[in-house]
């Protein structure tokens, strides 16, 4: 089934690429492996058309152009274009135009597109060690998380992922804030979640987490959540304020309770062949920009939280601030032990992340 979706999507993309030729340039499309030169298409972030022989890195993004990650990536794209004299261009396709994160992940792996922003939980399904980064309450603060993402603590994890030859490299982790539960009533304690089906991202850790928190973890892709709540298939979701507001989930789940249980990152991934095919000078520019953008995205994130909350409040949401998180933290503790015990690497990574909290 997955393969069928990936094939259908690849065909659709190939067709749409063939059909959309930017002004004054050819629509030659080659595989990612041989350095794709594609036409300038919808979602392109650069103000001017890329050079005819430019390598266009098509990047799948599941959220809107307003999202801080989109803005950070658009800035990165501008700089990449400028610093490589137009030879490398990032073309962002937002709003799940290239499919859900799961679909986009497969498209990157098979080289139909070059890059994607995916949730940590997607990559966790290929390399279980990533589960550590998405454990509930593993980061003490945003500062702690920033240290983890920018101190080199994840270099080995990313290198192991490339070495496993699964068709993708992880370039960096972006913050996606802290996630909290939202449903049709305020949630103060794990007991309040009893019998409540709460949508989680599609990974075993996310499901276990929500179960430990007292509810029933129900996995599905982000695009299905609104309707599922509306139809009563689930009772709510859990996410950060920005996604809650952007996707108007407050319309169907008006109580956002600050359980702040998870600061799971999103990962910027690239097709391995296209990454390896970058000339050394481009690789250096690219890697510097990735590091810069990782820091920048934290700033952009923080700039947008208040506005997102206000949008939700104007739409009828109530933010429940006085949640005592300790009982939730206690309830989730066994999951830390379980995940750290899955492998030596997981334990090492767990200890490295926690060591940066001090």
Q: Kindly list the residues in this chain that would bind ligand GCU in the complex (CB under 6 A).
A: 62, 101, 119, 176, 201, 222, 239, 243, 266
**Smallest distance from ligand GCU to CB 304, Å:** 12
List all residues 6 or more positions away from 209 whose beta carbon is below 8 Å from its beta carbon.
135, 136, 200, 217, 261, 262, 332, 335
Q: Residue 62 or residue 84: which is nearer to ligand GCU going by CB?
A: 62
Q: Residue 101 or residue 293: which is nearer to ligand GCU going by CB?
A: 101
Cα separation, 275 vs 55, in Å, equals: 11
**Smallest distance from ligand GCU to CB 197, Å:** 15
Q: Residue 176 or residue 187: which is nearer to ligand GCU going by CB?
A: 176
Q: Residue 89 or residue 241: which is nearer to ligand GCU going by CB?
A: 241
Least Cα distance to 126 among 272, 240, 11 occurs for 272
**Smallest distance from ligand GCU to CB 174, Å:** 8
Q: Residue 91 or residue 246: which is nearer to ligand GCU going by CB?
A: 246
**Smallest distance from ligand GCU to CB 86, Å:** 30
Q: 34-66: buried (b, 16+ CB within 10 Å) or exposed (e) per residue?
A: ebbbbbbbebbbbeebbbeebbbbbbbbbbeee
**Residues pairing with 198 in the sheet:** 217, 236
Cα separation, 113 vs 108, in Å, equals: 5
**Smallest distance from ligand GCU to CB 82, Å:** 27
Sheet containing strand 266-271, strands side by side = 88-93, 55-60, 115-119, 266-271, 168-174
């Amino acid at each position: 089934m997955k393969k069928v979706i990936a094939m259908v999507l690849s065909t659709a993309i190939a067709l749409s690429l063939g059909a959309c030729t930017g002004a004054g340039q050819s629509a030659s499309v080659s595989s990612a492996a041989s350095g794709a030169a594609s036409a300038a298409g919808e979602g392109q972030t650069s103000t001017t058309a890329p050079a005819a022989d430019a390598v266009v890195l098509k990047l799948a993004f599941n959220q809107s152009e307003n999202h801080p990650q989109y803005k950070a990536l658009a800035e990165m794209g501008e700089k990449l274009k400028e610093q490589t004299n137009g030879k490398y261009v990032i073309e962002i396709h937002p709003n799940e135009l290239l499919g859900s994160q799961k679909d986009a992940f497969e498209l990157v792996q098979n080289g139909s597109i070059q890059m994607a922003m995916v949730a940590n939980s997607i990559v966790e399904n290929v390399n279980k060690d990533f589960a550590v980064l998405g454990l509930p309450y593993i980061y003490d603060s945003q500062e702690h998380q920033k240290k983890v993402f920018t101190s080199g603590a994840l270099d080995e994890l990313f290198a192991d992922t490339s070495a496993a030859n699964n068709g993708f490299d992880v370039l960096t982790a972006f913050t996606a804030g802290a996630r909290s539960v939202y449903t049709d009533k305020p949630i103060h304690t794990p007991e309040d979640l009893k019998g409540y089906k709460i949508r989680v991202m599609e990974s075993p850790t996310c499901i276990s987490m929500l179960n430990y928190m007292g509810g029933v973890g129900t996995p599905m892709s982000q695009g299905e959540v609104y309707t599922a709540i509306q139809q009563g298939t689930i009772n709510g979701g859990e996410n950060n304020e920005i996604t809650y507001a952007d996707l108007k989930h407050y319309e169907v789940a008006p109580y956002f309770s600050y359980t702040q249980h998870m600061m799971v990152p999103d990962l910027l991934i690239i097709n391995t062949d296209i990454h390896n095919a970058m000339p050394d000078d481009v690789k250096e520019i690219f890697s510097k920009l990735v590091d810069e953008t990782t820091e920048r995205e934290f700033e952009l994130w923080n700039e947008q939280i208040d506005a997102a909350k206000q949008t939700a409040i104007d739409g009828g949401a109530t933010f429940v601030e006085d949640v005592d998180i300790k009982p939730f933290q206690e309830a989730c503790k066994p999951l830390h032990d379980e995940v750290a015990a899955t492998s030596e690497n997981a334990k090492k990574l767990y200890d490295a992340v926690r060591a940066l909290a001090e």
